[in-house]
A and B are shown apart, each in its own frame.
Chain A
Protein backbone atom coordinates (compact mmCIF):
# COMPACT_ATOMS: atom_id res chain seq x y z
CA UNK A 1 0.00 0.00 0.00
CA UNK A 2 2.85 2.40 0.88
CA UNK A 3 4.58 1.58 -2.40
CA UNK A 4 1.37 2.17 -4.37
CA UNK A 5 0.90 5.53 -2.63
CA UNK A 6 4.51 6.55 -3.32
CA UNK A 7 4.08 5.63 -7.00
CA UNK A 8 0.79 7.55 -7.11
CA UNK A 9 2.49 10.68 -5.77
CA UNK A 10 5.47 10.28 -8.07
CA UNK A 11 3.16 9.97 -11.07
CA UNK A 12 1.24 13.07 -10.02
CA UNK A 13 4.48 15.09 -10.00
CA UNK A 14 5.64 13.55 -13.26
CA UNK A 15 2.43 14.23 -15.18
CA UNK A 16 2.47 17.92 -14.37
CA UNK A 17 5.73 18.02 -16.35
CA UNK A 18 4.55 15.68 -19.12
CA UNK A 19 2.39 17.67 -21.54
CA UNK A 20 1.79 14.67 -23.82
CA UNK A 21 -0.05 12.78 -21.06
CA UNK A 22 -1.58 15.86 -19.46
CA UNK A 23 -3.35 16.93 -22.64
CA UNK A 24 -5.08 13.55 -22.92
CA UNK A 25 -6.72 14.10 -19.55
CA UNK A 26 -8.02 17.61 -20.20
CA UNK A 27 -8.70 17.72 -23.95
CA UNK A 28 -12.16 16.07 -23.98
CA UNK A 29 -13.54 17.76 -20.85
CA UNK A 30 -12.58 21.14 -22.34
CA UNK A 31 -13.99 20.20 -25.75
CA UNK A 32 -17.25 19.14 -24.08
CA UNK A 33 -17.56 22.47 -22.31
CA UNK A 34 -16.86 24.41 -25.50
CA UNK A 35 -19.04 22.37 -27.87
CA UNK A 36 -21.91 22.06 -25.41
CA UNK A 37 -22.06 25.79 -24.97
CA UNK A 38 -21.11 26.90 -28.47
CA UNK A 39 -23.23 24.65 -30.70
CA UNK A 40 -27.01 24.62 -30.33
CA UNK A 41 -28.90 22.96 -33.21
CA UNK A 42 -32.65 22.64 -33.13
CA UNK A 43 -33.75 19.02 -32.75
CA UNK A 44 -30.42 17.99 -31.26
CA UNK A 45 -30.93 15.46 -28.44
CA UNK A 46 -30.31 16.57 -24.85
CA UNK A 47 -26.70 16.31 -23.71
CA UNK A 48 -25.63 15.23 -27.21
CA UNK A 49 -22.03 16.38 -26.91
CA UNK A 50 -21.78 15.23 -23.30
CA UNK A 51 -22.68 11.65 -24.25
CA UNK A 52 -20.54 11.68 -27.37
CA UNK A 53 -17.40 13.02 -25.70
CA UNK A 54 -17.92 10.92 -22.57
CA UNK A 55 -17.72 7.73 -24.65
CA UNK A 56 -14.73 9.06 -26.59
CA UNK A 57 -13.01 10.11 -23.37
CA UNK A 58 -13.36 6.62 -21.96
CA UNK A 59 -12.01 5.01 -25.12
CA UNK A 60 -9.09 7.39 -25.36
CA UNK A 61 -7.73 9.04 -22.21
CA UNK A 62 -7.20 6.11 -19.78
CA UNK A 63 -6.06 3.79 -22.56
CA UNK A 64 -3.38 6.06 -24.02
CA UNK A 65 -2.26 7.47 -20.67
CA UNK A 66 -1.62 4.20 -18.88
CA UNK A 67 -0.05 2.43 -21.87
CA UNK A 68 2.29 5.39 -22.41
CA UNK A 69 3.25 5.57 -18.73
CA UNK A 70 4.02 1.84 -18.42
CA UNK A 71 5.85 1.63 -21.75
CA UNK A 72 7.99 4.65 -20.83
CA UNK A 73 8.90 3.06 -17.49
CA UNK A 74 9.94 -0.11 -19.30
CA UNK A 75 11.92 1.71 -21.95
CA UNK A 76 13.71 3.97 -19.44
CA UNK A 77 14.41 0.98 -17.15
CA UNK A 78 12.75 2.72 -14.21
CA UNK A 79 10.32 -0.18 -13.86
CA UNK A 80 13.20 -2.67 -13.56
CA UNK A 81 14.82 -0.54 -10.86
CA UNK A 82 11.52 -0.35 -9.00
CA UNK A 83 11.03 -4.10 -9.12
CA UNK A 84 14.59 -4.58 -7.85
CA UNK A 85 13.71 -2.25 -4.97
CA UNK A 86 11.12 -4.69 -3.68
CA UNK A 87 8.14 -3.08 -5.39
CA UNK A 88 5.67 -5.78 -6.37
CA UNK A 89 4.10 -5.55 -9.87
CA UNK A 90 0.67 -5.44 -8.16
CA UNK A 91 1.70 -2.40 -6.10
CA UNK A 92 3.11 -0.70 -9.19
CA UNK A 93 -0.07 -1.21 -11.22
CA UNK A 94 -2.21 -0.19 -8.24
CA UNK A 95 -0.26 3.08 -7.96
CA UNK A 96 -0.30 3.92 -11.67
CA UNK A 97 -3.83 2.60 -12.25
CA UNK A 98 -5.41 4.47 -9.33
CA UNK A 99 -3.68 7.64 -10.45
CA UNK A 100 -5.04 7.47 -14.02
CA UNK A 101 -8.46 6.34 -12.72
CA UNK A 102 -8.79 9.31 -10.37
CA UNK A 103 -7.55 11.87 -12.89
CA UNK A 104 -9.96 10.50 -15.49
CA UNK A 105 -12.78 10.64 -12.95
CA UNK A 106 -12.01 14.33 -12.43
CA UNK A 107 -12.21 14.81 -16.21
CA UNK A 108 -15.48 12.84 -16.24
CA UNK A 109 -16.85 15.12 -13.53
CA UNK A 110 -16.22 18.13 -15.77
CA UNK A 111 -18.01 16.39 -18.65
CA UNK A 112 -20.86 15.40 -16.31
CA UNK A 113 -21.35 18.92 -15.00
CA UNK A 114 -21.47 20.23 -18.58
CA UNK A 115 -24.70 18.21 -19.00
CA UNK A 116 -28.12 18.86 -17.51
CA UNK A 117 -28.66 16.15 -14.92
CA UNK A 118 -30.21 15.79 -11.48
CA UNK A 119 -27.87 14.94 -8.57
CA UNK A 120 -29.00 11.28 -8.71
CA UNK A 121 -28.36 11.18 -12.46
CA UNK A 122 -24.93 12.69 -11.95
CA UNK A 123 -24.08 9.92 -9.50
CA UNK A 124 -25.21 7.30 -12.01
CA UNK A 125 -23.21 9.09 -14.72
CA UNK A 126 -20.04 9.02 -12.61
CA UNK A 127 -20.51 5.37 -11.64
CA UNK A 128 -20.90 4.41 -15.29
CA UNK A 129 -17.85 6.46 -16.26
CA UNK A 130 -15.75 4.95 -13.48
CA UNK A 131 -16.62 1.46 -14.75
CA UNK A 132 -15.75 2.40 -18.31
CA UNK A 133 -12.43 3.95 -17.21
CA UNK A 134 -11.59 0.73 -15.36
CA UNK A 135 -12.18 -1.38 -18.49
CA UNK A 136 -10.01 0.99 -20.52
CA UNK A 137 -7.29 0.87 -17.85
CA UNK A 138 -7.10 -2.93 -18.09
CA UNK A 139 -6.73 -2.78 -21.87
CA UNK A 140 -4.19 0.06 -21.71
CA UNK A 141 -2.17 -1.67 -19.00
CA UNK A 142 -2.10 -4.85 -21.11
CA UNK A 143 -0.72 -2.85 -24.06
CA UNK A 144 1.82 -1.08 -21.85
CA UNK A 145 2.99 -4.32 -20.22
CA UNK A 146 3.27 -6.04 -23.59
CA UNK A 147 5.22 -3.19 -25.24
CA UNK A 148 8.98 -2.95 -24.84
CA UNK A 149 9.17 0.67 -26.00
CA UNK A 150 6.97 3.76 -26.14
CA UNK A 151 7.03 3.58 -29.93
CA UNK A 152 5.62 0.07 -29.82
CA UNK A 153 2.97 1.10 -27.29
CA UNK A 154 1.89 4.03 -29.47
CA UNK A 155 1.70 1.81 -32.56
CA UNK A 156 -0.58 -0.59 -30.73
CA UNK A 157 -2.62 1.98 -28.81
CA UNK A 158 -3.58 4.32 -31.65
CA UNK A 159 -5.63 1.88 -33.78
CA UNK A 160 -7.22 0.30 -30.68
CA UNK A 161 -8.03 3.71 -29.24
CA UNK A 162 -9.54 4.90 -32.53
CA UNK A 163 -11.65 1.73 -32.71
CA UNK A 164 -13.10 2.07 -29.21
CA UNK A 165 -13.48 5.83 -29.11
CA UNK A 166 -14.85 6.52 -32.57
CA UNK A 167 -17.11 3.47 -32.93
CA UNK A 168 -19.79 4.93 -30.61
CA UNK A 169 -19.87 8.12 -32.71
CA UNK A 170 -19.97 6.34 -36.08
CA UNK A 171 -22.66 3.97 -34.83
CA UNK A 172 -24.96 6.98 -34.42
CA UNK A 173 -24.98 7.43 -38.19
CA UNK A 174 -24.61 3.85 -39.48
CA UNK A 175 -26.79 0.91 -38.45
CA UNK A 176 -24.35 -1.72 -39.72
CA UNK A 177 -21.54 -0.26 -37.62
CA UNK A 178 -23.96 -0.06 -34.69
CA UNK A 179 -24.52 -3.83 -34.90
CA UNK A 180 -20.77 -4.40 -34.41
CA UNK A 181 -20.26 -1.52 -32.00
CA UNK A 182 -22.84 -2.89 -29.55
CA UNK A 183 -20.31 -5.53 -28.45
CA UNK A 184 -17.78 -2.92 -27.35
CA UNK A 185 -17.72 -1.50 -23.85
CA UNK A 186 -17.38 2.09 -25.07
CA UNK A 187 -20.63 1.85 -27.08
CA UNK A 188 -22.38 0.22 -24.14
CA UNK A 189 -21.15 2.99 -21.86
CA UNK A 190 -22.58 5.56 -24.30
CA UNK A 191 -25.89 3.67 -24.47
CA UNK A 192 -26.03 3.36 -20.67
CA UNK A 193 -25.31 7.06 -20.23
CA UNK A 194 -27.97 7.92 -22.82
CA UNK A 195 -30.54 5.98 -20.77
CA UNK A 196 -29.91 7.99 -17.62
CA UNK A 197 -33.30 8.59 -16.03
CA UNK A 198 -34.75 5.45 -17.61
CA UNK A 199 -35.60 3.06 -14.74
CA UNK A 200 -35.13 -0.02 -16.99
CA UNK A 201 -31.37 -0.35 -17.12
CA UNK A 202 -30.31 -2.85 -19.75
CA UNK A 203 -28.91 -6.15 -18.48
CA UNK A 204 -27.35 -6.61 -21.92
CA UNK A 205 -25.14 -3.55 -21.42
CA UNK A 206 -23.97 -4.86 -18.07
CA UNK A 207 -23.12 -8.29 -19.55
CA UNK A 208 -21.21 -6.82 -22.52
CA UNK A 209 -19.21 -4.44 -20.31
CA UNK A 210 -18.41 -7.31 -17.91
CA UNK A 211 -17.36 -9.55 -20.82
CA UNK A 212 -15.07 -6.80 -22.17
CA UNK A 213 -13.61 -6.35 -18.70
CA UNK A 214 -12.91 -10.07 -18.31
CA UNK A 215 -11.32 -10.27 -21.75
CA UNK A 216 -8.99 -7.33 -21.06
CA UNK A 217 -8.17 -8.63 -17.57
CA UNK A 218 -7.10 -11.90 -19.20
CA UNK A 219 -4.99 -10.01 -21.76
CA UNK A 220 -3.43 -7.96 -18.97
CA UNK A 221 -2.60 -11.09 -16.94
CA UNK A 222 -1.00 -12.68 -20.02
CA UNK A 223 1.00 -9.53 -20.85
CA UNK A 224 2.24 -9.31 -17.25
CA UNK A 225 3.29 -12.96 -17.22
CA UNK A 226 5.26 -12.41 -20.43
CA UNK A 227 6.70 -9.08 -19.31
CA UNK A 228 7.73 -9.91 -15.75
CA UNK A 229 9.13 -13.40 -16.31
CA UNK A 230 12.77 -13.64 -15.20
CA UNK A 231 14.30 -13.92 -18.66
CA UNK A 232 12.99 -10.68 -20.17
Chain B
Protein backbone atom coordinates (compact mmCIF):
# COMPACT_ATOMS: atom_id res chain seq x y z
CA UNK B 1 0.00 0.00 0.00
CA UNK B 2 1.28 3.45 -0.93
CA UNK B 3 1.98 5.95 1.84
CA UNK B 4 1.10 9.61 1.61
CA UNK B 5 4.39 11.49 1.25
CA UNK B 6 2.76 14.91 1.44
CA UNK B 7 -0.40 15.78 3.34
CA UNK B 8 -1.79 19.27 3.78
CA UNK B 9 -4.90 19.94 5.81
CA UNK B 10 -6.74 23.24 5.63
CA UNK B 11 -3.55 25.24 5.00
CA UNK B 12 -4.01 28.98 5.01
CA UNK B 13 -1.23 31.48 4.51
CA UNK B 14 -1.44 35.24 4.64
CA UNK B 15 1.09 37.93 3.79
CA UNK B 16 -0.31 40.81 5.83
CA UNK B 17 -3.93 41.25 4.75
CA UNK B 18 -3.44 39.26 1.53
CA UNK B 19 -4.51 35.61 1.72
CA UNK B 20 -2.28 33.57 -0.59
CA UNK B 21 -3.48 30.07 0.34
CA UNK B 22 -6.98 29.48 1.65
CA UNK B 23 -7.88 26.24 3.45
CA UNK B 24 -5.93 24.09 1.00
CA UNK B 25 -5.99 20.32 1.52
CA UNK B 26 -4.30 17.71 -0.66
CA UNK B 27 -2.41 14.43 -0.53
CA UNK B 28 0.49 13.21 -2.65
CA UNK B 29 1.27 9.52 -2.60
CA UNK B 30 4.73 7.99 -2.49
CA UNK B 31 6.22 7.59 -5.98
CA UNK B 32 3.71 9.69 -7.84
CA UNK B 33 4.15 12.86 -9.89
CA UNK B 34 1.82 15.57 -8.64
CA UNK B 35 1.32 18.76 -10.64
CA UNK B 36 -0.01 21.95 -9.16
CA UNK B 37 -1.42 24.09 -11.94
CA UNK B 38 -2.27 27.72 -11.62
CA UNK B 39 -1.48 31.14 -13.04
CA UNK B 40 1.28 33.36 -11.66
CA UNK B 41 0.38 34.56 -8.17
CA UNK B 42 -1.95 31.63 -7.46
CA UNK B 43 0.13 30.53 -4.45
CA UNK B 44 2.12 27.67 -6.01
CA UNK B 45 5.57 28.81 -4.86
CA UNK B 46 4.23 29.70 -1.42
CA UNK B 47 2.93 26.13 -1.03
CA UNK B 48 6.34 24.69 -2.04
CA UNK B 49 8.05 26.97 0.48
CA UNK B 50 5.68 25.75 3.20
CA UNK B 51 6.18 22.10 2.25
CA UNK B 52 9.98 22.45 2.26
CA UNK B 53 10.05 24.24 5.61
CA UNK B 54 11.14 27.62 4.21
CA UNK B 55 7.93 29.27 5.32
CA UNK B 56 5.58 28.63 8.23
CA UNK B 57 1.91 28.62 7.29
CA UNK B 58 -0.50 30.93 9.12
CA UNK B 59 -3.01 28.15 9.85
CA UNK B 60 -3.56 24.48 9.11
CA UNK B 61 -1.13 21.62 9.06
CA UNK B 62 1.31 20.20 6.51
CA UNK B 63 3.28 16.97 6.78
CA UNK B 64 6.17 15.82 4.64
CA UNK B 65 7.38 12.22 5.04
CA UNK B 66 5.29 12.07 8.21
CA UNK B 67 6.88 15.15 9.82
CA UNK B 68 5.29 18.53 10.48
CA UNK B 69 6.87 20.85 7.89
CA UNK B 70 7.50 23.43 10.63
CA UNK B 71 9.75 20.90 12.35
CA UNK B 72 11.71 19.48 9.41
CA UNK B 73 15.15 18.39 10.53
CA UNK B 74 18.32 16.97 9.07
CA UNK B 75 16.76 13.57 8.36
CA UNK B 76 13.94 15.08 6.27
CA UNK B 77 16.13 17.63 4.48
CA UNK B 78 18.46 14.81 3.45
CA UNK B 79 15.52 13.28 1.55
CA UNK B 80 14.41 16.47 -0.23
CA UNK B 81 15.65 17.88 -3.51
CA UNK B 82 14.36 21.26 -4.59
CA UNK B 83 14.53 23.35 -7.71
CA UNK B 84 13.07 26.76 -7.03
CA UNK B 85 12.00 29.46 -9.48
CA UNK B 86 15.22 31.42 -8.90
CA UNK B 87 18.35 29.41 -9.61
CA UNK B 88 20.51 29.87 -6.50
CA UNK B 89 23.66 28.99 -8.43
CA UNK B 90 27.15 30.43 -7.95
CA UNK B 91 27.41 32.50 -11.12
CA UNK B 92 31.21 32.92 -11.15
CA UNK B 93 31.93 29.24 -10.56
CA UNK B 94 31.91 26.71 -13.35
CA UNK B 95 29.14 24.17 -13.90
CA UNK B 96 31.21 21.32 -12.45
CA UNK B 97 32.44 23.44 -9.52
CA UNK B 98 28.83 24.18 -8.57
CA UNK B 99 27.96 20.49 -8.54
CA UNK B 100 31.21 19.46 -6.83
CA UNK B 101 30.51 21.96 -4.06
CA UNK B 102 27.07 20.46 -3.44
CA UNK B 103 28.54 16.97 -3.60
CA UNK B 104 30.74 17.99 -0.66
CA UNK B 105 27.75 19.48 1.12
CA UNK B 106 25.93 16.15 0.65
CA UNK B 107 28.95 14.30 2.08
CA UNK B 108 29.86 12.48 -1.13
CA UNK B 109 33.31 10.89 -0.55
CA UNK B 110 36.03 13.08 -2.03
CA UNK B 111 37.33 10.46 -4.46
CA UNK B 112 33.82 9.89 -5.87
CA UNK B 113 32.95 13.53 -6.52
CA UNK B 114 34.43 14.00 -9.99
CA UNK B 115 32.95 10.74 -11.28
CA UNK B 116 29.55 11.49 -9.83
CA UNK B 117 29.39 15.05 -11.18
CA UNK B 118 30.55 13.86 -14.62
CA UNK B 119 27.79 11.20 -14.70
CA UNK B 120 25.08 13.66 -13.72
CA UNK B 121 26.29 16.27 -16.20
CA UNK B 122 26.27 13.68 -19.00
CA UNK B 123 22.70 12.67 -18.08
CA UNK B 124 21.66 16.31 -18.20
CA UNK B 125 23.47 17.05 -21.46
CA UNK B 126 25.73 19.55 -19.72
CA UNK B 127 29.04 17.69 -19.80
CA UNK B 128 30.43 19.77 -22.69
CA UNK B 129 29.74 22.93 -20.69
CA UNK B 130 31.28 21.62 -17.45
CA UNK B 131 34.07 24.24 -17.42
CA UNK B 132 31.81 27.15 -18.38
CA UNK B 133 30.99 29.78 -15.75
CA UNK B 134 27.32 29.61 -14.77
CA UNK B 135 26.90 33.30 -15.65
CA UNK B 136 27.49 32.36 -19.30
CA UNK B 137 24.83 29.62 -19.45
CA UNK B 138 21.44 29.96 -21.13
CA UNK B 139 18.28 29.79 -19.02
CA UNK B 140 17.62 26.24 -20.17
CA UNK B 141 21.12 25.12 -19.17
CA UNK B 142 20.74 26.79 -15.76
CA UNK B 143 17.42 24.97 -15.30
CA UNK B 144 19.08 21.65 -16.10
CA UNK B 145 21.95 22.44 -13.74
CA UNK B 146 19.47 23.25 -10.95
CA UNK B 147 17.73 19.95 -11.61
CA UNK B 148 21.10 18.17 -11.55
CA UNK B 149 21.82 19.75 -8.17
CA UNK B 150 18.40 18.71 -6.87
CA UNK B 151 19.12 15.11 -7.90
CA UNK B 152 22.57 14.96 -6.30
CA UNK B 153 21.44 13.72 -2.89
CA UNK B 154 19.23 10.96 -4.36
CA UNK B 155 16.19 12.63 -2.85
CA UNK B 156 13.03 10.68 -2.08
CA UNK B 157 10.95 13.78 -2.76
CA UNK B 158 11.62 16.35 -5.47
CA UNK B 159 10.04 19.80 -5.39
CA UNK B 160 10.22 21.53 -8.75
CA UNK B 161 8.95 25.06 -9.13
CA UNK B 162 8.14 25.70 -12.81
CA UNK B 163 10.94 23.40 -14.04
CA UNK B 164 10.38 24.14 -17.72
CA UNK B 165 9.11 27.70 -17.62
CA UNK B 166 10.36 29.68 -20.61
CA UNK B 167 12.33 26.79 -22.09
CA UNK B 168 12.46 25.62 -25.69
CA UNK B 169 10.66 22.36 -26.58
CA UNK B 170 13.90 20.33 -26.89
CA UNK B 171 15.11 21.31 -23.40
CA UNK B 172 11.63 20.76 -21.99
CA UNK B 173 11.62 17.25 -23.45
CA UNK B 174 15.06 16.55 -21.93
CA UNK B 175 13.85 17.62 -18.50
CA UNK B 176 10.68 15.55 -18.86
CA UNK B 177 12.78 12.49 -19.72
CA UNK B 178 14.88 12.99 -16.58
CA UNK B 179 11.74 13.32 -14.47
CA UNK B 180 10.26 10.13 -15.94
CA UNK B 181 13.47 8.28 -15.03
CA UNK B 182 13.21 9.63 -11.49
CA UNK B 183 9.59 8.51 -11.25
CA UNK B 184 10.63 5.06 -12.44
CA UNK B 185 13.11 4.98 -9.53
CA UNK B 186 10.23 5.65 -7.12
CA UNK B 187 10.91 9.33 -6.45
CA UNK B 188 7.89 11.38 -5.44
CA UNK B 189 7.75 14.54 -7.55
CA UNK B 190 5.79 17.67 -6.66
CA UNK B 191 5.92 20.18 -9.47
CA UNK B 192 4.24 23.46 -10.17
CA UNK B 193 3.50 24.54 -13.69
CA UNK B 194 1.19 26.60 -15.83
CA UNK B 195 1.91 24.37 -18.78
CA UNK B 196 -1.11 22.09 -19.33
CA UNK B 197 0.78 19.75 -21.67
CA UNK B 198 3.43 19.18 -19.01
CA UNK B 199 0.74 18.36 -16.48
CA UNK B 200 -1.12 16.02 -18.83
CA UNK B 201 1.97 14.16 -20.00
CA UNK B 202 3.86 13.85 -16.72
CA UNK B 203 1.50 13.93 -13.78
CA UNK B 204 -0.42 11.12 -12.11
CA UNK B 205 -2.58 13.66 -10.30
CA UNK B 206 -3.02 17.39 -10.70
CA UNK B 207 -4.53 20.12 -8.59
CA UNK B 208 -5.87 23.32 -10.09
CA UNK B 209 -5.08 26.30 -7.89
CA UNK B 210 -6.79 29.65 -8.20
CA UNK B 211 -6.77 32.49 -5.71
CA UNK B 212 -5.31 30.22 -3.05
CA UNK B 213 -8.13 27.65 -3.43
CA UNK B 214 -7.74 24.14 -4.80
CA UNK B 215 -10.61 24.24 -7.26
CA UNK B 216 -10.15 20.77 -8.78
CA UNK B 217 -8.09 17.68 -8.01
CA UNK B 218 -7.69 14.32 -9.73
CA UNK B 219 -6.09 12.45 -12.61
CA UNK B 220 -5.65 14.72 -15.65
CA UNK B 221 -7.75 12.54 -18.01
CA UNK B 222 -10.48 12.09 -15.40
CA UNK B 223 -10.74 15.84 -14.87
CA UNK B 224 -10.96 16.38 -18.63
CA UNK B 225 -13.67 13.72 -18.99
CA UNK B 226 -15.60 15.16 -16.04
CA UNK B 227 -15.92 18.50 -17.83
CA UNK B 228 -16.68 16.99 -21.23
CA UNK B 229 -20.16 18.56 -21.40
CA UNK B 230 -20.32 18.64 -25.20
CA UNK B 231 -19.53 14.94 -25.62
CA UNK B 232 -18.74 15.31 -29.32
CA UNK B 233 -16.41 13.67 -31.79
CA UNK B 234 -14.70 15.67 -34.48
CA UNK B 235 -14.05 14.25 -37.93
CA UNK B 236 -11.54 15.80 -40.30
CA UNK B 237 -12.11 14.80 -43.92
CA UNK B 238 -9.44 14.40 -46.57
CA UNK B 239 -10.67 17.62 -48.19
CA UNK B 240 -9.84 19.41 -44.84
CA UNK B 241 -13.49 19.85 -43.97
CA UNK B 242 -14.21 19.43 -40.22
CA UNK B 243 -17.44 17.85 -39.02
CA UNK B 244 -18.66 17.64 -35.44
CA UNK B 245 -20.91 14.73 -34.41
CA UNK B 246 -22.58 13.79 -31.12
CA UNK B 247 -20.75 11.00 -29.36
CA UNK B 248 -23.79 8.65 -29.36
CA UNK B 249 -25.96 6.40 -31.59
CA UNK B 250 -26.83 9.27 -33.92
CA UNK B 251 -23.21 9.40 -35.17
CA UNK B 252 -23.16 5.79 -36.38
CA UNK B 253 -24.83 6.33 -39.75
CA UNK B 254 -22.88 9.40 -40.94
CA UNK B 255 -19.64 7.91 -39.63
CA UNK B 256 -20.23 4.67 -41.48
CA UNK B 257 -20.94 6.61 -44.66
CA UNK B 258 -17.68 8.55 -44.44
CA UNK B 259 -15.77 5.35 -43.70
CA UNK B 260 -17.33 3.59 -46.67
CA UNK B 261 -16.27 6.43 -48.98
CA UNK B 262 -12.78 6.46 -47.39
CA UNK B 263 -13.08 10.22 -46.87
CA UNK B 264 -11.86 10.37 -43.25
CA UNK B 265 -8.44 11.85 -42.51
CA UNK B 266 -8.69 11.91 -38.68
CA UNK B 267 -11.17 11.36 -35.84
CA UNK B 268 -10.79 13.08 -32.47
CA UNK B 269 -12.79 13.11 -29.30
CA UNK B 270 -13.43 16.64 -28.04
CA UNK B 271 -12.92 16.40 -24.29
CA UNK B 272 -11.59 19.66 -22.87
CA UNK B 273 -7.96 20.33 -21.99
CA UNK B 274 -6.92 21.16 -18.44
CA UNK B 275 -6.61 24.76 -19.54
CA UNK B 276 -10.17 24.89 -20.82
CA UNK B 277 -11.35 23.28 -17.57
CA UNK B 278 -9.44 25.95 -15.67
CA UNK B 279 -11.02 28.68 -17.79
CA UNK B 280 -14.47 27.15 -17.27
CA UNK B 281 -13.96 27.10 -13.49
CA UNK B 282 -12.33 30.48 -13.02
CA UNK B 283 -13.04 32.53 -16.13
CA UNK B 284 -9.26 33.07 -16.45
CA UNK B 285 -6.43 31.35 -18.32
CA UNK B 286 -3.38 29.60 -16.85
CA UNK B 287 -0.77 32.04 -18.25
Q: Report if B181 contacts A (CB, 8 A).
A: no
Check A14 for interface membership: any CB of B closer than 8 A. yes
Q: A77-B84, A77-B87, A230-B70 are in contact. Are A82 and B105 (CB under 8 A)?
A: yes
Say if the beta carbon of A6 comes within 8 Å of chain B. yes
- The reply to whether B54 and A2 contact each other, CB–CB distance below 8 Å, is no
A86 touches B101 (CB 8 A): no
A84 & B90 in contact (Cβ 8 Å cutoff): no
Question: Within 8 Å CB of B77, what residues of A?
Answer: 84-86
Q: Is there a chain B Cβ closer than 8 Å to A3's Cβ?
A: yes
Docked-complex contact B104 and A230, CB < 8 angstroms: no
Whether the pair A78, B105 counts as a contact (CB closer than 8 A) is no
Residues of B within 8 A of A120 (CB): none
Q: On chain A, which size bracket covers the interface?
A: 20 to 34
Chain B residues 240-275 with CB under 8 Å of chain A are: none
Decide yes or no whether B169 CB sits under 8 A from chain A.
no
Nearest CB of A to B200, in Å: 29
Tell me if A18 is interfacial: C-beta within 8 Å of chain B: yes
Q: Which residues of A contact B107 (CB under 8 A)?
A: 2
Query: Which of chain A's residues 1-59 have a Cβ closer than 8 Å to chain B?
Result: 2-3, 5-6, 9-10, 13-14, 17-18
Question: Does the CB pair B105–A13 fall under 8 Å?
Answer: no
A81–B88 touching, CB < 8 Å: yes
A81-B84 contact given A10-B90, A17-B93, CB 8 Å threshold: yes
**Contact residues in A for B106 (Cβ distance below 8 Å):** 85
- Among B65-115, those with CB < 8 Å from A are 70, 74, 77-78, 80, 82, 84, 86-93, 97, 101-102, 104-107
The dominant DSSP class at the A interface is helix
- The verdict on A230 contacting B56 (CB below 8 Å), with A77-B87, A78-B89, A85-B77 known, is yes
Closest to B98 in A: A10
Q: Let me know if A87 is at the binding interface, CB within 8 A.
A: yes
Residue A76 at the B interface, CB < 8 A?
Answer: yes
A18 touches B55 (CB 8 A): no
Chain B interface: which size bin?
Answer: 20 to 34
- B153 at the A interface (CB under 8 A): yes
Choice from A76, A80, A87, A231 contacting B105 with Cβ under 8 Å: A87
CA of A77 to CA of B134, assembled, Å: 14
A82 CA to B90 CA, complexed, in Å: 11
Q: Decide if B52 is an interface residue (CB 8 Å cutoff).
A: yes
The interface centre, meaning the residue of B82, B105, B106 with most chain A CB atoms within 10 A of its CB, is B105
Complex-state Cα separation, A14 to B91, whole angstroms: 9
A178 to chain B, nearest CB (A): 42
Q: Which of A3, A10, A76: most chain B CB closer than 10 A? A: A10
A residues at B contact (CB < 8 Å)? 2-3, 5-6, 9-10, 13-14, 17-18, 76-78, 80-82, 84-87, 230-231
In the complex, 18 of the A-B residue pairs with CB atoms within 8 angstroms, ordered by the A residue number, are A3-B105, A6-B101, A10-B93, A10-B97, A17-B92, A18-B92, A76-B89, A77-B87, A80-B88, A81-B149, A82-B105, A84-B52, A84-B54, A84-B77, A84-B82, A85-B102, A86-B78, A230-B70
The 6 tightest CB contacts between A and B, nearest first, are A81-B88, A6-B104, A77-B88, A17-B92, A230-B56, A86-B77
